[in-house]
């Protein structure tokens, strides 16, 4: 059954590289410039059926129009800017990873993620909640847990792998929530690390190295 409140659009980019030029991630927000002759009102919910001129692949995304009327892309073509949240943001990130010829699990991350299962804690202000670390890279992580549903995108948090496990030494890693939704069948939160880069990079690399060695 079609949702009448959602505008469906067939969108074709000249190439996968064109998608990379049209997308932007900043402060936890993922946006995509959508070329189209149709003028939309700001706030319109859109379903995008996206194809590429240099391949047969097809992605379907759902988002919201951030700009009304007809915006202009870099080459002067008309269209609008769309944003994505939750599972739709994850799917948009997977499309971007595909276009960049990276594993889909990387999404918009610049480093490949390691899949693992390690108990952890998230600190939100004065409150600590338990969770389980499911993947990790130098730039971010995905954490699942029963008490994480109220976290909001953009919210600052601290992550620690319990008990100094795998040489992390109990270091609290400064991060920010960049999306919330499911990865596979499990709901959780996607984090991007934001703290002292050298200190955190060293701690995270020890965890990555020892996790790989323990496989």
CB distance 31 to 66 below 8 Å = yes
List Cα–Cα distances, 66 to 11, 12, 73, 95, 201, in angstroms.
17, 20, 14, 20, 35
Helices (H), the chain: 16-22, 86-99, 197-213
Dist CA 106 CA 108 (whole Å): 6
Predicted TM-score (pTM) of this structure: 0.49
> 116: Cβ–Cβ under 8 A, 6 or more apart, which residues?
133, 134, 135, 136, 211
- Domains, the chain, ordered by start: 6-106 (2.40.10.220), 114-213 (2.40.10.220)
- pLDDT over 70 (residue 57): yes
> What does the pLDDT look like over 154-167, one tens digit per residue?
889 999 875 544 44
């Amino acid at each position: 059954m079609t949702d009448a409140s959602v505008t469906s659009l067939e969108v074709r980019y000249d190439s996968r590289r064109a998608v990379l030029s049209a997308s932007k991630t900043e402060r936890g927000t993922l946006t995509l410039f959508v070329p189209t002759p149709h003028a939309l009102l700001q706030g319109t919910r859109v379903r995008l059926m996206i194809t590429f001129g240099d391949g047969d692949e097809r992605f379907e995304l759902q988002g919201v129009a951030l700009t009304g009327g007809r915006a202009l892309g870099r080459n002067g073509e008309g269209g609008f800017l769309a944003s994505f949240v939750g599972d739709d943001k994850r799917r948009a990130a997977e499309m971007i990873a595909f276009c960049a010829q990276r594993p889909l699990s990387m999404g918009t991350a610049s480093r490949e993620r390691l899949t693992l299962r390690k108990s952890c804690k998230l600190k939100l202000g004065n409150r600590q909640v338990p969770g389980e670390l499911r993947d990790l890279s130098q730039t971010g992580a995905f954490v699942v847990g029963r008490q994480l549903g109220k976290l909001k995108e953009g919210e600052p948090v601290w992550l620690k792998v319990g008990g100094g496990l795998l040489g992390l030494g109990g270091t609290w890693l400064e991060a920010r929530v960049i999306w919330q939704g499911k990865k596979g069948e499990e709901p959780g939160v996607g984090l991007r690390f934001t703290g002292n880069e050298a200190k955190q990079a060293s701690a995270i690399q020890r965890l990555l190295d020892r996790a790989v060695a323990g496989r």
